[in-house]
Chain A
Amino acid sequence: MEKQTRQTTRSRKTLRRIAAMTLFVAVAAMVVPLSGYVYVAMAQETEQAQTQVQPWAETNPRSDVWRQARQATEGRSAIRGPGANVVMTSSGETFRQIRMGPLSTYAPWYLALMLGAVALFFIISGGGEKIAADSGKRLPRWSRFDIALHWFVAILFLVLAITGLSLLFGRAVLIPLMGPEGFAAWALASKNIHNYGGAFFVVGVVLMIVAWTRYNIPDATDVKWLLKGGAFGKHLPAGRMNGGEKAWFWVNVGAGIIVCATGVMMINPQVFESRELFQLNLIVHAIVAILWLGASFGHMYMATLGAPGSMDAMTKGHVSSEWAKVHHDLWYDEVKDQEFSDDQPREAAPGGNASTSSA
């Protein structure tokens, strides 16, 4: 009996404990999720405190209008035109700073340095080796089309360089010499020659890329030629075009595309009528064109003093066999069966299709 009572008491105690635990869990399960509200409320309070406009952070509505105006915000204007709905822009000042600053300062130094480097190289090396053409044997190198294309582009290149440099540096260099009226006349002529000549130049550059890319695919011979100093007077193995000539060709392709594309955009302001685009184009056009001009001094030197006999290729269309053996030995081996004698008339020479003979 006593034992039974003890057992009942124990089981009652256990039951009570279980009930208490259950109640605690149930209450906790209801209350704990509510803490989410507390969290949200606190977060909102913090956010409010952060986003609330502080009296010292207010902006003056009148100043805001002028701030918008200053920051080139687009509005609405009854007047139409590029940028007519914008009160103020800063990009023009950037354009001015670059054009009248680094561009006008470093471009003449670069051109002078390139001329000086070529002159120095000539003085040190004494010019390229003069190769006697005793045998009178000639090899066809360029067709009449190639020669015409070369001089078409070359003459336009020089004309555009002179007129372009006149527009960039004439104010500093030519006004003191010609006077304001004299220079204004020359500048107007320069502008028109540059604009219209540029259109023909684009055609020439495109034709050059189409016609001559096949001769200028670089290969291992060219890399060796360039790395071992072929440009500095060493006679290294070379095909129809050596590494230096190919490098110059690809300079023409790269610079030509950039200069022509920016130029076309600039002479069509009614099509490409963004002010920012024009500012960028003018700077890129000038920088790339001047780098190109400096590089062309090297080409002119090589064609005249650097490798005597080379000029024949672009004037007569054929070169002496001796010259070919020295400068383009691999090409000579390829085309020596096309050799003809100097005294033959040009028309009878097999050079009419020279450009395809060695491709």
Chain B
Amino acid sequence: MARMKFLCDADRCIECNGCVTACKNANDVPWGVNRRRVITLNDGLPGEKSISVACMHCTDAPCAAVCPTDCFYTTTDGIVLHDKDLCIGCGYCFYACPFGAPQFPTTEAFGVRGKMDKCTFCAGGPDEPGTASEYEKYGANRIADGKLPACAEMCATKALLAGDGDLVADIYRNRMMSRDGRPQTWGWAKAYGAGA
């Protein structure tokens, strides 16, 4: 059984925000809601790095733990999804999440939070896959079509990887090992000598 994971290769990310745009386009995400965002650390300084972050689909998800209505569930692929029919828009998941993934449309009166919206790993929701109601509430269900999330598929530099954790880890490990001669291959010279 696959265990779905996101991985952002910070050495490749160029902060083009293509993943953010691809996500918004594929899922028809409402204005003001961003399921994915790119954060640049040390912006404008030597060694600046960008990281694309969305829901990380935690194994022990804090959002699911604090939800008053217990609306979260984890699929057999390890994707954390939620049922918008049960969500009451209390916001606790946003305050528990380490990544700031849950988002709330604030279109109602007095800025009251609407139902929570977050990255679904392009796996839709509890509704029947491919139905209009599923698309309206949760966006695209690309997983049901055998496709990976739109953000990773659209990434121009292939910095953002999504898919089975084992495969993603293999790809990343190969990249790391072939980045020889660069300062990032830290520890190599120390372990094997400068010429090795």
| CB neighbors of B among A17-70 (8 A) | 55, 58, 60-63, 65-66, 68-69
Q: Is chain A's binding surface mostly helix, strand, loop or mixed?
A: helix
Contact of B98 among A63, A92, A181, A187 (CB under 8 A): A92
A216 on the B face (CB < 8 A)? no
Q: CA of A268 to CA of B184 in the docked complex: distance in angstroms?
A: 45
A-B contact pairs, 5 of them (CB 8 A): A73-B41, A75-B41, A181-B86, A191-B88, A270-B111
A180 touches B95 (CB 8 A): no
Interface centre among A90, A92, A184, A268 (most CB of B within 10 A): A92
Residues of chain A with a CB closer than 8 A to B91's CB? 269, 278
- Are A77 and B40 also in contact (CB < 8 A) when A84-B100, A95-B95 are? yes
Known contacts A87-B51, A100-B65, A187 near B40 by CB under 8 Å: no
Q: Is the CB of A96 within 8 A of B47?
A: no
Best-buried of B94, B95, B100, B103 by chain A (most CB within 10 Å): B95
Bound-state Cα–Cα, A181 to B67, Å = 14
Select one of A79, A88, A92, A181 contacting B34, CB under 8 A.
A79
Answer whether A77 and B65 are a contact pair too, CB < 8 Å, given A88-B99, A92-B96, A96-B96: no
Total A-B Cβ pairs within 8 A: 135
B112 in the interface (beta carbon within 8 A): yes
Set A82, A183, A270: member contacting B69, Cβ < 8 A: A183
Tell me whether A96 and B186 are in contact in the complex, defined as CB-CB below 8 angstroms, given that A79-B20, A87-B51, A282-B95 are known contacts.
no
- Do B111 and A77 touch (CB < 8 A)? no
Q: Interface size on A (CB < 8 Å)?
A: 52
Q: A61-B47, A167-B90 are in contact. List 6 more A-B contacts (CB 8 A).
A: A73-B41, A79-B20, A86-B100, A92-B97, A187-B69, A270-B106
Given the known A-B contacts A86-B100, A184-B71, are A99 and B88 also in contact in the complex, defined by CB atoms under 8 Å?
Answer: no
Instruction: Assess whether B3 is interfacial by the CB under 8 Å rule.
Output: no
B11 on interface, CB distance cutoff 8 Å: yes
Q: Which residues of B contact A183 (CB under 8 A)?
A: 69
Q: CB-CB < 8 A to B97: which residues of A?
A: 92
* Set of chain B residues within 8 Å of A7, measured between Cβ atoms: none
Shortest Cβ gap from B99 to chain A (Å): 6
A318 to B61, alpha carbons, bound, how many Å? 57
Cβ of A299 within 8 Å of any chain B Cβ, yes or no, is no
Scoring B66, B88, B91, B186 by chain A CB atoms within 10 A of each residue's CB, the highest score goes to: B88
> Is B155 close to A, CB under 8 A?
no
Q: Are A275 and B65 in contact (CB under 8 A)?
A: no
A92-B66 Cα distance, complex, nearest whole Å: 10
B15 nearest CB across to chain A (Å):
8
Residue A168 at the chain B interface, CB threshold 8 Å = yes
Instruction: Please tell me if the beta carbons of A62 and B69 are within 8 angstroms of each other in the complex.
Output: no
Say yes or no: is A170 at the interface (Cβ < 8 Å to chain B): yes
Whether A275 contacts B95 by the Cβ 8 Å rule is yes
Contact A61 B186 (CB under 8 A): yes
| Residue B53 lies at the interface, judged by CB distance under 8 Å to chain A | yes
Against A, the Cβ 8 Å flags (1 = close, 0 = not) of B55-98 are 00000001001111111000000000001011111111011111
Residues of B close to A343: CB separation below 8 A: none
CB 8 Å contact bits of A66-107 with B (1 = contact, 0 = none): 101100010111110111111111101101100110000000
When the two chains form the complex, which single residue of A83, A93, A171 contacts B96, counting CB atoms closer than 8 Å?
Answer: A93
Q: Does B173 contact A (CB under 8 A)?
A: no
User: Does B193 make an interface contact (CB < 8 A)?
Assistant: no
The yes or no answer to A117 lying at the interface (CB within 8 A) is: no
A175 at interface by CB-CB < 8 Å: yes
**Nearest-Cβ distance from residue A75 to partner chain B, whole angstroms:** 4
Is A310 interfacial (CB 8 A cutoff)? Answer: no
CB atoms of A175 and B70 under 8 A apart: yes
Q: Does B183 contact A (CB under 8 A)?
A: yes
Are A96 and B39 closer than 8 Å at their CB atoms? no
